[in-house]
Structure formats: structure tokens, C-alpha cells
Amino acid sequence: MSFIKPAKLAALVFIALTGILLPTSAQVVVYNSFGPGYAYNPSLHWVVGGASSPHGYQGHAEYFTPGISGYLSSVQLATYRQASGSGLSNFYIAQDNGSGTPGIILESFASVLNVTGLLTLNSTVKPLLQAGTEYWLCDEPTASDSYNGWYQNNQGVTNGFAAESSEWGWYPAPAPVPINGVSITDSVFRVSVTPVPEPSVVESGIMCGCCLLLFRWRKKPVIVN
């Protein structure tokens, strides 16, 4: 026979129950301006280009506010690859600086090759995004000859965005207005997170019970055959 202290036994039960009752949550979409089947406007895009591109340096950023807290999982957007240039962009997830433009960078996706179509950025840093807090998805040209585009949504989303004419020199842009009768909208993207797990009432009760055992039985050994 051997002896296991109840305090140790209760601790082991607590750890086991935590793993069983609080499994990793599935990904949840916290922002999405795509239409059904990842539809977007294939005719219009915002230009993102380096200093030597035809329109000079241009960056573009869009904001979103998660409805729930979670760890960033992935970002999807629709991009356009111009025929000329390196085709590279630097993407960032950033906090709002309090003035309606991107501030502290939470994660970088450097030298990403743009495609003409759907582009997915998978998070490796997994920054925590808080519900009700404003964040930005930023697209900057990597090289002076980068010349790409970020397609617009086809759902009529016109929240306004941030633009820049120099590296990390963001300024707030007004909500887009129609040009020659053509509706101009925000860029299209989708953000997914892994939600922060929240224990249920039953789970919390079981865990509290285990904690009580740690104190009540800490001096009483349990005999195990």
C-alpha cells in the first residue's frame, strides 16, 4: 500500500477536470465584410503602393471591433496583384491609438506576396483581442516598387478607414462617397479568433469544491491499495 495526501489528490482532480471541462474553443468570426461565399467587389480596390509605383507611396488600414474576446487566429482579405512590381505587402494588426488611427502593433506579417483573390494570414503570435476594443488591419507596401490592391466589399460597408503617404504615417480618412455614380466602400476582410474560455456554473462549482478539498483534507492521508 502507498499513501497519497488528499491535498495532492484534489489538485490532480482539479487539473484533470480543467482539461476535460474547459476544452479549446473553436474559431469564431468577430468581423466579416465578405458576402456569401466570400463574395466581394472584383472591380474596385484601394491601391497599396511603394514610392516608385505609379501613384506614389500609399498605405491602407481598416478597423474592426470584436464582439467577444479571443486570441487572434486568422485574417482573410481579398487582394489584387498588379502586373508590375514586387507584389509584396507588410500587414499588421494594431491597436487604435485613441485618435482613430493605428497605434501599437500587436502582430506583423512581413513581405507577404499578394494574390489576385483570397489571401489568408494565419496568426503565430495569437494576440488577445478584447471585446469592444477597436483594432486595425493595416496594409503597407514592402518595397518601393510594390504595387498592389485591396479589394472593396460588396455589402455596402462604409465605416471609414485610415490612409498614409509615408511609412506608419496614418491619418483618418472620411467614409467613402460615390464617384461618378459608383459606390465606393471599405476594403473587404474577415477576422477569426479563438474565444477566451469561460467556465460554466457547474464547472466553477466543481473547481471550487476541489479547492476546498485542498484545505479541508491537507492533513489526512488517503490509503491506496
pLDDT digits 0-9 by tens, 98-120: 999 999 999 999 999 999 999 99
pLDDT, one tens digit per residue, over 61-74 is 999 999 999 999 99
Indicate if the alpha-carbon torsion angle 31, 142, 146, 159 is positive or negative: positive
**pLDDT score of 198:** 64
- Percentage of residues of the chain with pLDDT beyond 70: 76
Q: 12 vs 178, which has greater pLDDT?
A: 178
pLDDT, one tens digit per residue, over 112-161 is 999 999 999 999 999 999 999 999 999 999 999 999 999 999 999 998 99
**pLDDT score of 15:** 43
Total-model pTM: 0.79
> What average pLDDT is seen over the chain?
84
Give 58's Cβ-side CA count (13 Å radius): 15
Q: How confident is the model at residue 22 (pLDDT cuts 50, 70, 90)?
A: very low
Give 180's Cβ-side CA count (13 Å radius): 0
Residue 201 has pLDDT above 90, yes or no: no
Burial string for 154-169 (b: 16+ CB within 10 Å, else e) reads: bbebbeebbbbeeeee
